[in-house]
Amino acid sequence: MTDSEFNHLLGSINALSREQMRQVRRELDSKVACSPASSQPPLTEEELADQEAQRGLFEAGLLSEIKPPRRVSTGTEEFTPIVIKGEPLSETVIRGRR
């Protein structure tokens, strides 16, 4: 898409109704979530509803930011504990609380 076409598209967005803008936003969110560069699975209906609720609160000025959906770990991430010298960290914390 050329810069001219993109600018025309952005200008056309201003002519949309509020509901049409929401529809475009949902569609874009869905496309971004499903893009090959994204390692996350597509948003569920519940996550989309939560994002929409957050957008409404943001637009009303009740939220300062829209947080991304919280995803449950699938356990596929590789966990490597950090090795420290000396006594276990838990004992250090317990001793500090006394």
Q: For residue 35, is it within any domain?
A: yes
Q: What gap in Å lies between CA 45 and CA 92, rounded to an integer?
A: 45
Q: For residue 8, is it within any domain?
A: yes
Token output for 51: 């994002």
- pLDDT per residue over 4-55, tens digit each? 898 898 889 888 998 888 888 878 876 776 565 556 677 788 888 998 899 8
**Degrees (nearest 5) of the Cα angle 32, 34, 37?**
75
Total domains in the fold of the chain: 1
Q: Which domain holds residue 33?
A: 3-70
pLDDT reported for residue 23: 85
